Amino acid sequence: MSLVWVIGSGGMLGQALVNELKQAEDKLFELPAKLNWNNPSEACEQLKQAVSQLSKEAGKDGWIIYWAAGTGTMHSNREDLKAETELLETLISSLLNDDKLILHAGKFIFASSAGAIYAGIQEGVITESMQTAPINVYGETKLLQEAVLNKLNQNGQGAIVVTCRITTLYGLKSKDGKQQGLIAEMIRNLLTNQVIHIYVPLETMRDYITPKDAAIQMIDAAKHSEKTQGIAIKIIASGVSTSVAEIIAILKRICKRNLRIVTQADIKGSQYQRAVQFRSALRKKIDLQNRTNLIEGISDLLNTIQNDIVKNRNNP
């Protein structure tokens, strides 16, 4: 039985990971207090102490860390992303320098960004074997963070490292000030009768995946990572690309009403691929088994956001 630590458990993906892991036999590692992400120096100290506690509790048993943290987006600047990278560096350094931690008994599963890392590829099918092509600071930072992570395994020795390059998550995010994703923002504006602003061409296609589906694929990748030589890359995707125009059509069909949409060209729109598909070459059967139909996913999200609006209205 492994001791499992989900870093970023308060976020959309992190919470989904916790929910799925609670159903497994592994024991969840919990901190006495939440990491203070708003104070990087304090968070670094918390991470150091957490690693010390992790090594004591894990003992000779295995340990698994899922990194689902991060406040960066495709539009973040270098300074905004610096603190996030420093926190990861502190964690990796602490793991490497803890004398009581059995490094080769551990696994580190890292949530990275497929959209940012392959942003320069404008068409075709993207798999794990493709050359990376970041076009902005966010994508470059994700690759830098992946390199930091790989220090846990040198020449096949050390912890198993699995980098999960995830496509576009959609769902209800926690109230952390981070901008909502496109689908959630469209639904919220639709329900509150506000104009929906779209800054990319309507033919822009993305691979949308629910946090639950992504979490299931990540956990499956962790379970089967023993077959790797220590470092592996896994694309986490639904395998189906959908255009913004199709999303609009789905919402119209579900809600049976027209949407108030304003389209506006924006330089940020150039940072998203127009017509690509993401497809993992690893454990494809499992990915297909755990794929939520987009219409069902949007319908569920609409109900969730509707309940959230009512809750906030009753509890101002």
| pLDDT score recorded for residue 200 | 84
CA distance 222 to 282: 12
Each residue's pLDDT tens digit in the chain (316 positions)? 789 999 999 899 999 999 999 988 779 998 878 888 889 899 999 999 999 999 999 988 899 999 999 878 888 888 889 989 999 999 999 999 999 999 999 999 999 999 999 998 878 899 999 999 999 999 999 999 999 999 999 888 899 999 999 999 999 875 554 556 889 999 999 999 999 989 888 888 899 999 999 999 999 999 888 766 789 999 999 989 999 999 999 999 999 888 899 987 665 555 555 677 898 888 666 666 768 999 999 999 999 999 989 888 877 6
| pLDDT score recorded for residue 177 | 45
Render the burial of 11-38: b for 16+ CB within 10 Å, e for the rest. Answer: bbbbbbbbebbeeeebeebeeeeebebe
SS (H, E, C) the chain: CCEEEEECCCCHHHHHHHHHHCCCCCEECCCCCCCCCCCHHHHHHHHHHHHHHHHHHHCCCCEEEEECCCCCCCCCCHHHHHHHHHHHHHHHHHHHHCCCCCHHHEEEEEEEEHHHHCCCCCEEEECCCCCCCCCCHHHHHHHHHHHHHHHHEECCEECEEEEEEECEECCCCCCCCCCCCHHHHHHHHHHCCCCEEECCCCCCEEEEECHHHHHHHHHHHHHCHHHCCCEEEEEECCCCEEEHHHHHHHHHHHHCCCCCEEECCCHHHHHCCCEEEECCCCCHHHHHHCCCCHHHHHHHHHHHHHHHHHHHHHCC
| pLDDT score recorded for residue 37 | 86
